[in-house]
Amino acid sequence: MKISKIIFLIGSLSLLLIFIAPIWSITLEAPQYPGGVTLFIWVNKISGDTPGTLQNINILNHYIGMKYIEPESIPELKYFPMVVIGMSALGLLAGFLNNEKLWIAWVVLLIILGALGIYDFYLWEYDYGHNLAEDAPIKIPGMAYQPPLFGSKMLLNFNAISYPHTGSIFIALPIIFGIIASYLKRKGK
Amino acid sequence: MKSNSIFSFLFIISSLFVFTRCNNGGNGSSTGALGSSNAAEKVYVAPGEKDTYYAFMSGGFSGQVSVYGLPSGRLFKVIPVYSQDAEKAYGYNEETKPMLMTSFGFIPWDDSHHPKLSQTNGIHDGNFLFINGNNTPRVARIDLTTFETTEIIEIPNSGGSHASPYPTENTEYLVASTRFSVPIPQKDVPIDSYKENFKGTFTFISGGQEPGKMDIAFQILVPGYDYDLAHSGKGVSHGWTFFTSYNVEEENTLLEKRASQYDKDYIAAVNWKKAEEYIAQGKFKEMPATYYHNYYDEHTQSASSEIKKSVKVLNASECPGVVYYLPTPKSPHGVDVSPTGEFIVGSGKLSANLTVHSFEKMIAAIEAKNFDKEIDGIPVLNYEAILAGVVQQPGLGPLHTEFDGRGNAYTSFFITSEVVKWSLSTYEVLDRQPTYYSVGHLMIPGGGSKQPWNDGEYLLALNKITKDRFLPTGPELAQSAQLFDISGDKMELLLDFPTVGEPHYAQAIPASVLEERQVKTTPLEDNHHEYVARREAETKIERNGNVVHVWMTTIRSHFAPDNIEGIKVGDEVYFHVTNLEQDWDVPHGFAMMGARNSELLIMPGQTESLVWYPQTEGVFPFYCSDFCSALHQEMQGYVRVSAKNSNMKLSWSMGDEVFHE
């Protein structure tokens, strides 16, 4: 088997590793929360640094009228895993078909899907941060509570810090492997 | 005044001796730490920094244990053990009321004396702290993951438990003795028939390392002296426990004079492994006795009482080889065993010298039958044969000794109000420092175990009297603790700080041993309380006759339900309040107007129950008494109380949705 094919197949399979680590993390820092409160966004779930984190964040958020973050009511957490598995399977198929054009198409599709995923995440953040209850106990005119996609931002007493987490490596890896494999294949290796 | 009359007595004589010791002054003037260049630096724990030791001090007549940090002397927590505590609802809420049950009924107080940490291989393992109740004989367990009292066992056949709990090397047993001998079993006899009818007991409690399993393994019946203090052997002396006695004169009145007549009283050496053999052979008597075993189950978050009806008793006079008497001068108080287990220091509190027995020589004397006489079949060993050495005229009124890891011993002297350091090899006095005033117990972290931590860097003197040491607070003044640095050749006074109640003894353990195992919250799914509501949707109210149960929850910043109607005058209302929080340090309070017991202070994930008796018609508020959040002040609710014969149905609500019975 040629080296390019092996690399492409490994890349397609590595996409599945996205299930072992969170893709994104949002940390809220305030003096009375030593070490911060961290929310982890996975491809299939939302977790925290302690079992009670999600509840604790929801309690804090209810003062400003933010909707409860309920993983059961976020459909993406159900169909994104299927998209990941499907893409991995398509990658394997393309790998065995050994067709350079298919490989490039797969990489482009993955990039588009990844970008859509981030955009979707941004929309959720926007929705949580802007659609606040009318009867919230704390209302500050003009204030929105959307955490940044990338970087940090003060939201009242909390510094919200948002960055990609380990899991996002397993989106980057298949893309990089796919590009390398296509390049090597063009070189006839 | 002070709990122990002997101390008052000694204090009076102390004034007679105050001029005899001119070497008290020296560098230890009453300016204390100010005389030293870097004492302040040694005790300063900067804001945000943490202490290096947890110290547990008995609260004496307060019935509590207080937790301090060393070297700062900062108070972290007061743990109620034998006393009701309205702040934490200990002994007031339905969950913890059974903890204070005894064969005398509900006893909401005691005189808590000697905290002792559990041991594994003679080293403090940080699992549990035990403390005795001196008055109504009991031993309690404090769980060191929660700093809460979780188990109390009553001791039958005892007239007050002072020599307790002093665990054995692996906490096989916690021990106790009857301080005051009494008729055993109790009977109506003339008090002056003391010599004929009064007896003493030594008690061995099993289950120290197994929560919920504390039990009286056996008791040993002994002559009717006053049994004062104890320590269990370790290393070479593992398998033995030593109890001091006074009043071997067997007097029943004016003991201060009549019980101080003989030159020597006894340290009772008890071979508990031998006692175990007799028990295994069935040579015990099963004596009827009523005593309580109370256990707080962390799963149901509720305590329950088990009433026990009999106890295994060995009679020392019928069990040769179990008890020997070691003659020790003048009413010994503390008996302390060196880290190797070889030296047994008996502090004859009215003696001018300090007596040190050798365990090795004791065994040799037993094997050679080197006995002076027998008392009720108990051999009295020859004093000279077992003596390791005598510290000549170290001070007056020795009470307690602890050890560093460098071959030195430190003894407290109540009458001369000082701490004296002496050598375990030469019996020479190496240093002395005054205390302010009248030190009782002293404590070196790990100094009563096989391994004094860091070879012994601190010594804490626990003082009975403070007089002019702090700002005066009316007639009643604080007792105090004084911290010494003992890492060098000379002891250096670093710090004075007042204590909660009278500290009879203390224990300390490196912070690193306990810090990481602290429980922060209870997961709601692990809460198996009979009346838990794990979600707001599970809240409800049920009536059964005039008994009403309310399943209530708290979360920042509301109660569910917060409006309750249909309660009637004469009802017995149980509020079962579950704190739904799962975040560290977010307790909620529940304070009901007119509650005749206490508030509740509920930790995250826990449920507590308060009974309330509405007495008049009207609408009565309840609120959160712990400043929990930004909208804490809004965390409130109402209970509407209708006439006894009213037709009001139960209803409850939070917001718009109203529920009915």
Distance (Å, whole) CA B203 – CA B209 = 17
Q: List pLDDT tens digits, range B502-557.
A: 999 999 999 999 999 999 999 999 999 999 999 999 999 999 999 999 999 999 99
Task: For A59, name the nearest residue in chain B, comparing CA atoms only.
Answer: B556
Interface test with A, best of B50, B583, B586, B635 (most A CBs within 10 A): B583
Verify whether the Cβ–Cβ distance A52 to B556 is below 8 Å. Answer: no
Which residues are CB-neighbours of B152 under 8 A, at least 6 positions away?
Answer: B81, B82, B99, B100, B133, B138, B139, B140, B141, B292, B293, B294
Whether the CB-CB separation of B484 and B459 falls below 8 Å is answered with: yes
Q: Measure A59 CA to nearest chain B CA, in Å.
A: 7
Whether the CB-CB separation of B391 and B364 falls below 8 Å is answered with: no
Q: What is the 3-state secondary structure (H, E, C) of B150-206?
A: EEEEECCCCECCCCCCCCCCCCCCEEEECCECEECCCCCCCHHHHHHHEEEEEEEEE
Distance (Å, whole) CA B184 – CA B200 = 8
Task: For B582, name the nearest residue in chain A, comparing CA atoms only.
Answer: A52
Does the beta carbon of B543 lie under 8 angstroms from any beta carbon of chain A?
Answer: no
Verify whether the Cβ–Cβ distance B631 to A59 is below 8 Å. Answer: no
Q: Is the pLDDT of residue B2 over 60?
A: no
Task: For B556, name the nearest residue in chain A, comparing CA atoms only.
Answer: A59
Task: For A34, name the nearest residue in chain B, comparing CA atoms only.
Answer: B584
Interface test with B, best of A50, A53, A139, A158 (most B CBs within 10 A): A50
- Match 């220091």 to its residue by tokens: B345
Q: Could you tell me where the DSSP H helices lie in B30-161?
A: 39-43
Whether the CB-CB separation of A54 and A28 falls below 8 Å is answered with: no
Closest CB to B521 among A52, A137, A138:
A52
Verify whether the Cβ–Cβ distance A52 to B582 is below 8 Å. Answer: yes
The whole-number average pLDDT for the span B230-252 is: 97
Q: Which of B11, B151, B127, B20 is nearest to B463 (CA)?
A: B11
The whole-number average pLDDT for the span B627-642 is: 96
Q: Is the pLDDT of residue B11 over 60?
A: no
End-to-end CA distance of chain B: 55
Does the beta carbon of A144 lie under 8 angstroms from any beta carbon of chain B?
Answer: no
Verify whether the Cβ–Cβ distance B582 to A63 is below 8 Å. Answer: no
Which value, to the nearest 10 degrees, does the dihedral of the CA atoms of residues B82, B87, B90, B91 take? 80
Instruction: Output the CA angle B527-B530-B536, nearest 5 degrees.
Output: 65
Q: B661 pLDDT band (50/70/90 cuts)?
A: confident
Distance (Å, whole) CA B458 – CA B507 = 12
Verify whether the Cβ–Cβ distance B583 to A52 is below 8 Å. Answer: yes
Which residues are CB-neighbours of B197 under 8 A, at least 6 positions away?
Answer: B183, B187, B189
Which residues from A are below 8 Å from B518, CB to CB? none
Question: Which residue type sits at B644?
Answer: K
The whole-number average pLDDT for the span B443-460 is: 97
CA distances from B647 to B138, B574, B657 (A): 49, 21, 22
Domain count, chain A: 1
Q: Measure B508 CA to nearest chain A CA, in Å.
A: 27
Does the beta carbon of A138 lie under 8 angstroms from any beta carbon of chain B?
Answer: yes
Which residues are CB-neighbours of B188 under 8 A, at least 6 positions away?
Answer: none
Q: B23 pLDDT band (50/70/90 cuts)?
A: very low
Closest CB to B555 among A50, A59, A138:
A59
Which residues are CB-neighbours of B437 under 8 A, at least 6 positions away?
Answer: B417, B463, B464, B465, B466, B467, B469
Q: Measure B640 CA to nearest chain A CA, in Å.
A: 26
Q: Kind and range of the H or E element at B306?
A: strand B302-315
Distance (Å, whole) CA B493 – CA B484 = 4
Which residues from A are below 8 Å from B556, CB to CB? 59
The whole-number average pLDDT for the span B246-259 is: 93
Strand partners, B180: B159
The pLDDT of residue B352: 87
The whole-number average pLDDT for the span B128-146 is: 98
Assign residue A20 the CATH number of its domain: 1.20.140
Task: For B48, name the nearest residue in chain A, comparing CA atoms only.
Answer: A34
Q: Measure A137 CA to nearest chain B CA, in Å.
A: 8
Neighbours of B42 (CB within 10 A): 17
Q: B398 pLDDT band (50/70/90 cuts)?
A: very high
Whether the CB-CB separation of B447 and B461 falls below 8 Å is answered with: no
Does the beta carbon of B18 lie under 8 angstroms from any beta carbon of chain A?
Answer: no
Whether the CB-CB separation of A109 and A91 falls below 8 Å is answered with: no
Q: Which of B374, B376, B418 is nearest to B397 (CA)?
A: B418
DSSP assignment letter at B508: E
Which residues are CB-neighbours of A36 under 8 A, at least 6 positions away?
Answer: A27, A28, A29, A161
CA distances from A16 to A52, A78, A87, B26, B391 (A): 28, 15, 9, 77, 76
Whether the CB-CB separation of B524 and B81 falls below 8 Å is answered with: no
Task: For B630, name the nearest residue in chain A, comparing CA atoms only.
Answer: A63
Q: List pLDDT tens digits, range B326-360.
A: 999 999 999 999 999 999 999 999 988 999 999 99
Task: For B580, name the nearest residue in chain A, comparing CA atoms only.
Answer: A55
Q: Measure B523 CA to nearest chain A CA, in Å.
A: 8
The pLDDT of residue B31: 45
Distance (Å, whole) CA B137 – CA B292 = 11
DSSP assignment letter at A89: H
Percentage of residues in chain B with pLDDT exceeding 70? 94
Whether the CB-CB separation of B653 and B563 falls below 8 Å is answered with: yes
Chain CA centroid to CA A146, Å: 16
Q: B1 pLDDT band (50/70/90 cuts)?
A: very low
Q: B16 pLDDT band (50/70/90 cuts)?
A: very low
Task: Take residue B652 and report the two structure tokens written for it.
Answer: 């409850």
Q: Measure A54 CA to nearest chain B CA, in Å.
A: 10
Verify whether the Cβ–Cβ distance B630 to A51 is below 8 Å. Answer: no
Q: What is the CA radius of gyration of chain B?
A: 27
Q: What is the CA radius of gyration of chain A?
A: 20
Distance (Å, whole) CA B7 – CA B111 = 15
Does the beta carbon of A59 lie under 8 angstroms from any beta carbon of chain B?
Answer: yes
Verify whether the Cβ–Cβ distance B583 to A63 is below 8 Å. Answer: no
Q: Is the pLDDT of residue B582 over 90?
A: yes
Q: B19 pLDDT band (50/70/90 cuts)?
A: very low
The edge-to-edge listing of strands for the beta sheet with B492-499 is B439-443, B458-463, B479-485, B492-499
Which residues are CB-neighbours of A62 under 8 A, at least 6 positions away?
Answer: A68, A136
Distance (Å, whole) CA B219 – CA B97 = 28
Q: Measure A56 CA to nearest chain B CA, in Å.
A: 6
Closest CB to B582 among A56, A63, A137:
A56
Burial degree of B158 (CB within 10 A; 0-12, 13-18, 19+): buried
Distance (Å, whole) CA B192 – CA B195 = 8
| HSE (side-chain half, CA atoms, 13 Å) at B382 | 12
Q: Is the pLDDT of residue B27 over 50?
A: no
Q: Measure B659 CA to nearest chain A CA, in Å.
A: 23
Does the beta carbon of A63 lie under 8 angstroms from any beta carbon of chain B?
Answer: yes
Distance (Å, whole) CA B77 – CA B79 = 6
Q: Label the pairing between strands B148-154 and B138-143.
A: antiparallel
Q: Measure B656 CA to nearest chain A CA, in Å.
A: 14
Quote the domain boundaries for residue A119. Answer: 3-186
The pLDDT of residue A1: 79
Distance (Å, whole) CA B561 – CA B575 = 11
Verify whether the Cβ–Cβ distance B630 to A138 is below 8 Å. Answer: yes
Interface test with A, best of B582, B586, B588, B632 (most A CBs within 10 A): B582
Q: Which of B546, B550, B573 is nearest to B646 (CA)?
A: B546
* Omega prior to B185 cis, within 30 of 0: yes
Q: B18 pLDDT band (50/70/90 cuts)?
A: very low
Does the beta carbon of A188 lie under 8 angstroms from any beta carbon of chain B?
Answer: no
Interface test with B, best of A56, A57, A135, A140 (most B CBs within 10 A): A56
The long-range contacts involving B177-180, CB below 8 angstroms and separated by at least 24 positions, are: B177/B201, B177/B202, B177/B203, B177/B227, B177/B230, B177/B243, B178/B137, B178/B227, B179/B134, B179/B226, B179/B227, B179/B228, B180/B226
SS3 at position B301: coil
Q: Which of B192, B329, B187 is nearest to B263 (CA)?
A: B329
Which residues from B are below 8 Å from A50, CB to CB? 582
Verify whether the Cβ–Cβ distance A55 to B582 is below 8 Å. Answer: yes
pLDDT in tens, chain A (189 residues): 789 999 999 999 999 999 999 999 999 999 989 889 999 999 999 999 999 999 999 999 999 999 999 999 999 999 999 999 999 999 999 999 999 999 999 999 999 999 999 999 999 999 999 999 999 999 999 899 999 999 999 999 999 999 999 999 999 999 999 999 999 998 888
Does the beta carbon of A55 lie under 8 angstroms from any beta carbon of chain B?
Answer: yes
Domains of chain B (ranges; CATH) run: 5-515 (2.130.10.10), 524-660 (2.60.40.420)
Does the beta carbon of A133 lie under 8 angstroms from any beta carbon of chain B?
Answer: no
Distance (Å, whole) CA A178 – CA B304 = 66
Verify whether the Cβ–Cβ distance A56 to B523 is below 8 Å. Answer: no
Q: B32 pLDDT band (50/70/90 cuts)?
A: very low
Does the beta carbon of A140 lie under 8 angstroms from any beta carbon of chain B?
Answer: no
Whether the CB-CB separation of B214 and B293 falls below 8 Å is answered with: yes
Closest CB to A56 among B523, B583, B634:
B583
Chain CA centroid to CA B414, Å: 21
Neighbours of B654 (CB within 10 A): 18
Q: Is the pLDDT of residue B3 over 80?
A: no
Neighbours of B301 (CB within 10 A): 25
Q: Measure B11 CA to nearest chain A CA, in Å.
A: 49
What is the residue-averaged pLDDT of chain B?
94
Question: Which residue type sits at A31?
Answer: P
* Omega prior to B165 cis, within 30 of 0: yes
Does the beta carbon of B583 lie under 8 angstroms from any beta carbon of chain A?
Answer: yes
SS3 at position B432: strand
Task: For B586, name the nearest residue in chain A, comparing CA atoms only.
Answer: A56
DSSP assignment letter at B112: B
Task: For A136, name the nearest residue in chain B, comparing CA atoms only.
Answer: B631
Q: Could you tell me where the DSSP H helices lie in A23-168?
A: 53-62, 76-97, 100-130
Closest CB to B582 among A51, A63, A137:
A51
Task: For B581, name the nearest residue in chain A, comparing CA atoms only.
Answer: A56
SS3 at position B105: strand
Instruction: State pTM to two decimals.
Output: 0.92
Whether the CB-CB separation of B366 and B374 falls below 8 Å is answered with: no
For B59-170, list the strands marked E by DSSP.
Answer: 64-70, 74-80, 101-102, 105-106, 116-120, 123-133, 138-143, 148-154
Does the beta carbon of A137 lie under 8 angstroms from any beta carbon of chain B?
Answer: yes
